[in-house]
Amino acid sequence: MLDKVTFIGSKRIGLKALETIYALAPDKLHAIVTIDDSQDVRCALKGFKDFSTAAGKTLIILNKPSELEPVIQDDPPDMCLVVGWYWLINKSLLEAVTNGFLGIHASMLPKYRGGAPLVWPIINGDKESGISLFYFDEGMDTGDVVCQKPFDIRNEDTIGDIIVKVESLTIELLKDNYYLLLDGSAPRVPQKHNEATYCSQRKPEDGRINWHSTNMEIHNAIRAQSHPYPGAFCFVGDKKIYIWKSGVFQQVYYGIPGLVVEVSDGYVIVTCGKGAIYIYEVQLEGFPRESANRVLKYGDRLK
């Protein structure tokens, strides 16, 4: 039975995972490592501080990922659990922990290895994805899998909806497997590497809408980058505008891509490279979010 588990993570999902393993086996939690990500809108640093104080556990706050190595090398635990950590861990550090590093990856590995694994399935119009509890190795999300849980992606789901699903399933997955990890009886299933797909990280500037795409592609791009992510955007004149909520116009609609062709109560309709899209909620840069019909007018050209 393992006695010393160090938790490494950040964001709300990391905090929920930490709370879960502590509730399951409070005496096994040795230390908590997080990072100062206070500039990120998804930051949960205060929650980590409050938790560590209440639990009486050591909290180590790093300023950069490279600071992790001496923390682990100076006081190696039996196992590290990693949730909400977005950097590779080098070989020497992996070898320093006898029973390894395990983490949650937000896809059904070996699919969507790499960055932004929640965003890309929505952009690609997938109907299902999932989460994986797996062992770290030197590769990018290539280690043996302990357990996986799938979830559906509905046409109206935004990234915020998917995050909620992932958080809930992460708790379930840890409840099902944490004791097995502690007593050494958890399964280890090698991934089918020939079936792997990869996805890249994304930056806020990657959210610009291409109005020459199909209505479904644009709708997928909008919901994949909605709150709490930076948002899909375009320009009307010289003003940057974020599109937060959309829907697909189901009938055929011919028109100039990016043209506002109808303004109604609560929405506008914009033509795309193929078909048209409903826009419900927008935000001019520097202003609050509003109903699209209060910001856009008939004949506006979005670019």
- Tens of pLDDT along 76-132? 999 999 999 988 898 989 999 999 999 999 999 999 999 999 999 999 999 999 999
Count of other CB atoms within 10 angstroms of residue 45 = 18
pLDDT digits (tens, 9 = 90+) for 169-223: 999 999 999 999 999 999 999 999 999 999 999 999 999 999 999 999 999 999 9
Q: CATH topology of 5-198 equal to that of 204-294?
A: no
Dist. CA 267–CA 275, nearest whole Å: 16
Return the domain boundaries, the chain: 5-198, 204-294
| Alpha-helix residue ranges (DSSP H) falling in the chain | 11-24, 45-55, 68-74, 91-96, 119-123, 159-183, 215-224
Measured CA to CA in angstroms, residue 60 lies from 35, 43, 63, 136, 206 at distances of 8, 16, 10, 21, 33
Q: CB under 8 Å to 164, separation ≥6 — which residues?
A: none
End-to-end CA distance of the chain: 59
Output the pTM of the full model: 0.93
pLDDT of residue 273: 98
**CATH fold of the domain at 204-294:** Methionyl-tRNA Fmet Formyltransferase; Chain A, domain 2 (3.10.25)
CATH superfamily of 5-198: Formyl transferase, N-terminal domain (3.40.50.170)
